[in-house]
Structure 1
Amino acid sequence: MALGSRLFHGKRAWLVRLGLAVGVPLLVFSVAEIALRLAGFGSDSAFFIETAKPGIVTTNDRFVWFYHRTPPGSPDPCLLARAKPPQTLRVVVLGESAAMGTPDPAFGFARILQAMLEAAYPDQRIEVVNAAIRGINSHMIVPIARQCAPLEVDLFVVYMGNNEICGLYGPESFLARHPALIPSLHRLKTTRVCQAMAIAINGPPDAPRTKREPQTMEFFREHQVARSDPRRQPVYHNFQTNLSRICQATTQSGAAVLVLTVPVNLRDCPPLASLHRPDLTRNELEAWQAAYSQGIELEKRQDWPAACDAYRRALVIDPEYADLHFRTARCLLAAGRTAEAYDHYTLARDYDALQFRADSTLNEIMRRAVADIEHPHVRLLDAEKLLAESPLCPDGIPGNEAFRDHVHPSFEGDHELARMIFTQAVGLIQRVRSIEPTGALEPLSRDQCAARLAYTPWDEVNTAAAMIQMMARPPFPGQLDHAERQARAQQAIDQAMAKLDQARLEEAMETYRAAIAAHPDDWHLRYNYATRLYQLQRYVKAAEHIGFVVDRFPNRPHFRLCLAHALAQSGRTNEAVAQYRRILEQHPHFEAARTALDRMLNPTGKPVGIRLSD
C-alpha cells in the first residue's frame, strides 16, 4: 500500500475530511471577516461607542439593529466620560419604554430623578444615564448592564418586564426554549460577514424598503398566547435568569442595584385580547355567552349587583376570559367593593392574551429573585404595591391618573416613581459610596420638577396627542370601549388647546428660557425649546438651539434634520443643503433628508440623483 493511502485510511481519513469540512469554511469566514473590517464595512454592536473626543462615549443608535430586523427604537443620546470625574454621582436606568419615558424621554422618571438628586447633592455632579430603550426586553438589557458596569456607576435602577411575553424570544420563539444558544447567535450576528449577509438578504435596517408593513389586528390575533399556555414557562424562566445576570454584573462593579416591580394601568386599560379556556365545550360556551351577555345588559343599566351576579355565573364556567374579569371588576368598583375589584382587575391583566403589561408572575419573580440574592447592595422597590397605595390611586387601583396608556406613566406617575426611587437611592448611595446629601432631604415636588424640566401645559398637550396617535394603531383598537376612550382623550386635548392662547404660550416659552438659563448644558431642554420655537415659526432661534444639540451629537440624523429644516425655513438655503448632504453622507438611506434635499435642489435644475459631493 502506498504511503499516502496508509496515512489517509479509515478513521484518519474521516478526521481529515471532517477537519477540511470545518476548517476550510472557518478559514474563508475569517479571511472575509478580516477583509471587511479592514475595508471599514459594518457597524459597531456595542451599546456605548467612542466619540471624537478621547475618553468620551455616547450611546450607539445602531445597537438595536443586532437584535431586531426592524429596530423598535434607539437609546437616548448621552455623553459620558469612561473615567468618572471627581465629585460625580452616576446613576444608570435600565429598562424598556416605560423606563425610557414614552413618548418623550425628556420628561421620564430618569430625568425627574436627576432633578431630585441635583437638589439633594448640590456639591456633586449628577449623571443619570437613561440606558432604557423602547421595545426591548431582558435579553437585551443583560448586555447593556454588562457594558455599563465598567463605567464606575454608583446606582443601577432596573425597571423592566412589560415586553417579556410579547417581545424578543417570546413564547413562540425556538430560542426561548433553548436560551443557551442566544449569546452565540448574537455574537455571530455582530460579525461583519453576517452583517453583509443580512444586508444582502434584507437590505440595510434603516433603508425604506426594509421597513415592515404596519402590524395589523390580524397579525396580533395570530400571536395571542393564553396564560395557561405552557410556552410561557420558558419565558418566565429566562426572565429570572436574565435578572440574576443583571444583578450579578452590576454588583460585581461595586454599584448598588435597585430592582423595581412594575405597576401598570389596571382600572382604565382593558385587556388587549381574550381567549376562552381551551377545553370549553359547545354547551359550556353557550351557557357562558348567555351569562356574559346578560351581564353586559345589566351593566349598561348600571344595575351593578345584578351585573356582578351574571358575570360570576360566567366566571364559574370560564375563569380565563380576560374581558370578563375586567367587566366584573368595573361593576364591583361601581358597587363600592374595591378590594374585590382590584383582584379582578389584576386577573384581567394576567389573563390578557396579548401580554404587553408585566403580569403577577413576572413581578413575583422579581420579589423572589432579589430576596434570594441576599446581597447588601441589592434592594427591591415594590413599586407595584407602593403606587397602588399612593395618593395617585385613591381607590388603590392604578389608572389614568398615573398612566398615559397601558404601561407608560403620566408625568405625575413618573414623578411618583422618581420619588420612590429617590428615597431608596439616598440610602444606597450612602451605603456604597459613603456620600450623604447636603441639600434637600425631601424629594422635589411635582411642580418643582416640572419647572426644572420645562414641562409646560404645551408639552402636556403634545404628549397627550402623541399617545392618541399611538393608541390608534393595532392592537389597541381591539380593546373594550376603545373608540369611546379615544374620543374622550381627543376632547380633553381640544379643551386644553383652547386654553393655550398667546399669553399661555409665552408663559411656556419663559419657563423654557428660565430652565435653560439655570442648566445651559441640558440638551433635552435645548431640543424641546427649539421644537417649540419652530412651531411658533421662530426659525432663527430654533436653529441656534438645535445647533447646540447637533454639536454634541453630530451623528444623530434626526437632530441634524431638524437643524436643516430650521435653516431652510430661515432662508439660509446653502447651510440647509450642507446639513442635508451631511446626513446622507453618514446615513445614505435616510429618506427624509433625501426628500428634503431633492425638493430644495430641483428648482435649480439639478437632477434628483445628484452626487452627495456635488
Structure 2
Amino acid sequence: MRLVNYGGNLELFIEAPGEYSDYYMCNPSVARRYFFMQNTVPDPPNDLFLKEKTPNGYRIFVVGGSTTAGYPYANNILFSRILQFRLQDVFPDKKIEVVNTAMTAVNTYTILDFIDEIIAHKADAILVYSGHNEFYGALGAASSESLGRFRGFVKLYLKLQQAKTFLFMRDVVGLLRKWLSDLLYEGDVTKPSATLMERMVGEQTIPLHSPIYQVGRQQFEGNLRDIVNKAKEAGVRVIVSELVSNIRDMKPFLSVSTDSLPPAEEVYRHAAQLEREGKFELAKKTYTRAKDLDALRFRATEEFNVVLRRIAEEIEIPVVPMKSYFEKASPHGLIGNNLILEHLHPNIDGYFMMADAFFDVMHEEGFVSERWDSRRIHPEAYYRENWGITELDKSYADLRIKILKGNWPFKPKSVPNRALIDYEPRTKADSIALKVWIEDINLERGHVQLAEHYEKLGQFDKAYKEYKSLIYITPHNVSPYLRAAHMLIKARKLNAALPYLRKSLELEDTAFANKWIGQILLDRGLTKTALLRLEKAAKIRPQDAQLIYNLSGAYALNGQFEKAKKTLKRLEKLQPDFPGAQDLKRQLDSLNK
C-alpha cells in the first residue's frame, strides 16, 4: 500500500507549491484523516510559514473548528490574521508567523492528532478556540463520523491511520457505512444538497447530563488536557479561550423535557419575558440555561467553559475571557445577532473582537516578549477601520449564511432550501458573490472581477479596495499589492501607493514597484534614492519607454548629464516620438553651450 501511496499525503504540513517553495502550508487534504463518510471535506486556511525559521522568528499556531477558520468569511476575516498584523506592528524587528490549522466540523480529537506535528515545526505558542463541535465534529460522540464513545479507542485509531493498509481497510468499512446510511437514513449523511452541518449529525437528541452528553464532555476534558500537557512538556506556551454563542436571538433547536429538566423552549420564552421586564442579569442566566438545555448540541454548554478554566488553572496557562468581551459589547450583556450571525459564528465585528481578546491576553502574559512598546500598539478601531474588507466579502458571507439557514436544523428537513432560488442580487457585488457560489470559482477571482469592473468605470478607489481585500486574503502573493498600488496611481494618490509598492518588494523585486517608487521619490526631491530604484527597474525591464525617460531625467537631476544623454538615446531607439523627450534633449544640449 505504501508503494502506491494509498490515500495520498495526509501530513498536516506540506511544501507550498511553485514560487512559495521556501514555505510550508497546511495540507488541503489533511481532513481525510477524519472524514471517511463524506464525499467532500473541509480544508484549512492558506497560511504559509518558512521552512527555515528565522532567528528573530516567533511562530504561533491556532487550532479549532469553523469559528477559528473564520466561517462564513474568506481568510481576510480570520481572527488569527488580524492578530498577526497587530503583533507584527508591535514587533517590527521580529518575523511574526501565525499559522491557522482550523477546519469546519472538527473538534479536540483533530487538535490532539495535530499537536505533535505542530510542536515539531518549532511552535512558540498555540492558541486554542474549540469546544462547540465535541458532539457532531469528526469522531465526536454523536457524529456521523463517530468511531464510538471510548476515547482510548479513538486515540488508537488516530495512531493506526498513519499506516496505509489501515487506511485502506478504514475506507472499505466507510463505503459499507455509506451504503447502510443511504439505506437506513435516506442518505442524510452523504447527500450533496445537505450542508456539512446537517451531514455530520449522527445522534440528534442529547439531553443535558445524559450518558452521551457525559461522553462528549469527558472527551473534551480528556483531549484538552492531553493537548495542553503535550505542549507544555515541549516548552510551548498555550492560551485557551472561553466559548461564546448566540443566547438571545437563537432559540433552542430541539426542546425535550426529562424528569429533572424543563423543556429548553419553555426556558427560552421565560428568558425573553425577563428581558422585557428589564431583569437583564436574570434574563442572561435564563437564556444561557435555555441554550444549555438545547438537546441538539451545536452550541457548547457553560460546563465546557468551566472545564477549560479548571484545566487552565491546574496546568497554569492563561484563559481568554471571551464571554466578557462579547457581553460588554452587547446590549444589557445579552449576546445575540449584534455579534453572532446565527447560532455561534461571529460577524465581522465579532471576529475583530476575538483578535483583540487574544491580543490583550498575549500582552498581559508577556507572549512574544516580556516588553511591549506601548507606542506601537494601535487602538482596536484602527484595524477595523483600515482593514481590507469590501461589500463582496459581506455579500458572499451573507449568501453562505442564507444557504445554511435554509437547511436543517434551521428549517425542517421536509422543507426545500429556497435560499438560492429566492436570492435576488441587488448590486454587482451580490451578483459576483452568487457567481462565486454557483460556478465554484474562488472568492479571490471574484475580487479581481469586481476590481476590473470598477476600473473600466474609472472608479479606481473602489477597484483599489478590492485588491486591498485580496492582500489580506493572500498576504504572500505580490500581485494584489502591485494592483492596489496601480489603482492608487491611476487615482493620482501616489503617496498612498508608496507603502504597497515597498511592501511588494519584500515579496518580489519587480520593475513596476521600483519604477514607481523611483518616480514618487523624484517628485519628492529625493533624487539619489530615486535614481537607484529607477536603475534597478531599467535592468529588469529595459524596453519600458516611460521608465527610460524617467531614468534619463533622474540622471540629469543628479548631475550625471552624460548618462542622461546616453539614456535618452536609448529612448530614441525605443520610441522616437516619446512625449517630452525632445524637450529633455534640448535642456541637456543647452548645458553644453
User: TM-score scaled to structure 1, two decimals?
Assistant: 0.64
* Alignment-mate amino acid for residue 190 of structure 2: R
Q: Does 1:385 align with 2:385?
A: no
Identity %: 24
CA deviations 1:149-176 (Å, max 9, x no partner) are: 1222222111001001233344447855
CA deviations 1:292-336 (Å, max 9, x no partner) are: xxxxxxxxxxxxxxxxxxxxxxxxxx8421111111111221221
Q: What does 1:182-197 align with in structure 2 at a 5 Å threshold?
A: 182-197=154-169
Contact 2:137–2:200 under 8 Å retained in 1: no
Q: CA deviation at 1:442?
A: 3.9
Q: Does 1:66 align with 2:33?
A: yes
Q: 1:340 aligns with which of 276, 282, 299?
A: 282
1:509 corresponds in structure 2 to 463
2:353 corresponds in structure 1 to 416
2:252 and 2:54 map into 1 onto residues whose CA distance is 47
Q: What does 1:445-524 align with in structure 2 at a 5 Å threshold?
A: 445=381, 448-449=383-384, 451-452=386-387, 454-478=388-412, 507-514=461-468, 521-523=475-477
Contact 1:426–1:437 under 8 Å retained in 2: no
CA distance 1:48–1:325, change in 2 (3 Å)? same
Specify the SS of the correspondent of 2:365. Answer: helix
Q: CA deviation at 1:342?
A: 0.6
Q: Does 1:259 align with 2:263?
A: no
What are structure 1's unaligned runs of at least 5 residues?
Answer: 1-35, 280-317, 534-547, 553-614
CA distance 1:491–1:113, change in 2 (3 Å)? farther
What are structure 2's unaligned runs of at least 5 residues?
Answer: 432-449, 488-503, 509-593
1:574 corresponds in structure 2 to none
1:131 corresponds in structure 2 to 101
Specify the SS of the correspondent of 1:135. Answer: coil
Specify the SS of the correspondent of 2:97. Answer: strand
Contact 1:256–1:429 under 8 Å retained in 2: no
Contact 1:164–1:235 under 8 Å retained in 2: yes
Q: Does 1:232 align with 2:210?
A: no
1:524 and 1:383 map into 2 onto residues whose CA distance is 35
Q: CA deviation at 1:264?
A: 0.6
Q: CA deviation at 1:464?
A: 1.4
Contact 1:176–1:238 under 8 Å retained in 2: no
Contact 1:512–1:525 under 8 Å retained in 2: no
2:587 corresponds in structure 1 to none
CA distance 1:198–1:139, change in 2 (3 Å)? closer
Contact 1:94–1:145 under 8 Å retained in 2: no
* Alignment-mate amino acid for residue 403 of structure 2: Q
1:440 corresponds in structure 2 to 376
2:71 corresponds in structure 1 to 102
Q: CA deviation at 1:125?
A: 2.2
2:5 corresponds in structure 1 to 40
2:351 and 2:62 map into 1 onto residues whose CA distance is 13
* Alignment-mate amino acid for residue 7 of structure 2: G
Contact 1:66–1:189 under 8 Å retained in 2: yes
1:348 and 1:492 map into 2 onto residues whose CA distance is 36
Contact 1:226–1:352 under 8 Å retained in 2: yes
Q: CA deviation at 1:471?
A: 1.4
* Alignment-mate amino acid for residue 440 of structure 1: R
Q: What does 1:50-449 align with in structure 2 at a 5 Å threshold?
A: 50-51=15-16, 56-69=23-36, 70=38, 72-104=41-73, 105-172=75-142, 177-200=149-172, 212-213=190-191, 214=193, 223-277=204-258, 279=259, 319-374=261-316, 378-389=317-328, 392-430=329-367, 433-434=369-370, 436-437=372-373, 440-445=376-381, 448-449=383-384
CA deviations 1:454-473 (Å, max 9, x no partner) are: 11233222211221111111
Specify the SS of the correspondent of 1:99. Answer: coil
CA distance 1:236–1:358, change in 2 (3 Å)? same
Contact 2:138–2:200 under 8 Å retained in 1: no
1:12 corresponds in structure 2 to none
2:45 and 2:250 map into 1 onto residues whose CA distance is 27
CA distance 1:354–1:504, change in 2 (3 Å)? farther
Contact 1:272–1:478 under 8 Å retained in 2: no
Segment drifting more, 178-187 vs 357-366: 178-187
Specify the SS of the correspondent of 2:239. Answer: strand
Contact 2:134–2:219 under 8 Å retained in 1: no
* Alignment-mate amino acid for residue 261 of structure 1: E
2:585 corresponds in structure 1 to none
Segment drifting more, 331-340 vs 433-442: 433-442
* Alignment-mate amino acid for residue 100 of structure 1: A
2:71 and 2:99 map into 1 onto residues whose CA distance is 16
Question: What value does the CA root-mean-square deviation take over the aligned residues?
Answer: 4.1
Q: 1:49 aligns with which of 14, 37, 46?
A: 14
Specify the SS of the correspondent of 2:281. Answer: helix
1:410 and 1:66 map into 2 onto residues whose CA distance is 30
1:456 and 1:438 map into 2 onto residues whose CA distance is 30
Segment drifting more, 36-45 vs 500-509: 500-509
State how many pairs are aligned.
Answer: 443
1:325 and 1:47 map into 2 onto residues whose CA distance is 43
2:459 and 2:292 map into 1 onto residues whose CA distance is 43
1:478 and 1:438 map into 2 onto residues whose CA distance is 52
1:516 and 1:494 map into 2 onto residues whose CA distance is 20
* Alignment-mate amino acid for residue 321 of structure 2: D
2:109 and 2:311 map into 1 onto residues whose CA distance is 17
CA deviations 1:207-252 (Å, max 9, x no partner) are: xx99811559899696211113122112211211111111112223
Contact 1:275–1:320 under 8 Å retained in 2: yes
Contact 1:166–1:356 under 8 Å retained in 2: yes
2:26 and 2:199 map into 1 onto residues whose CA distance is 36
CA distance 1:347–1:249, change in 2 (3 Å)? same
User: TM-score scaled to structure 2, two decimals?
Assistant: 0.66
1:496 and 1:40 map into 2 onto residues whose CA distance is 43
1:524 and 1:202 map into 2 onto residues whose CA distance is 42
1:200 and 1:231 map into 2 onto residues whose CA distance is 27
1:449 and 1:57 map into 2 onto residues whose CA distance is 29
Contact 1:92–1:157 under 8 Å retained in 2: yes
* Alignment-mate amino acid for residue 69 of structure 2: M
Segment drifting more, 132-141 vs 331-340: 331-340
1:524 and 1:362 map into 2 onto residues whose CA distance is 42
Q: CA deviation at 1:259?
A: 0.7
Larger RCO, structures 1/2 (Cα 8 Å, 6+ apart): 1
2:447 corresponds in structure 1 to none
CA deviations 1:519-548 (Å, max 9, x no partner) are: 984449959x99xx9xxxxxxxxxxxxxx9
Specify the SS of the correspondent of 2:318. Answer: strand
* Alignment-mate amino acid for residue 129 of structure 2: Y
CA deviations 1:579-611 (Å, max 9, x no partner) are: xxxxxxxxxxxxxxxxxxxxxxxxxxxxxxxxx
CA deviations 1:84-141 (Å, max 9, x no partner) are: 2132222211111011100123212111112211222222222111111110000111
Q: CA deviation at 1:37?
A: 1.5
Specify the SS of the correspondent of 1:326. Answer: helix
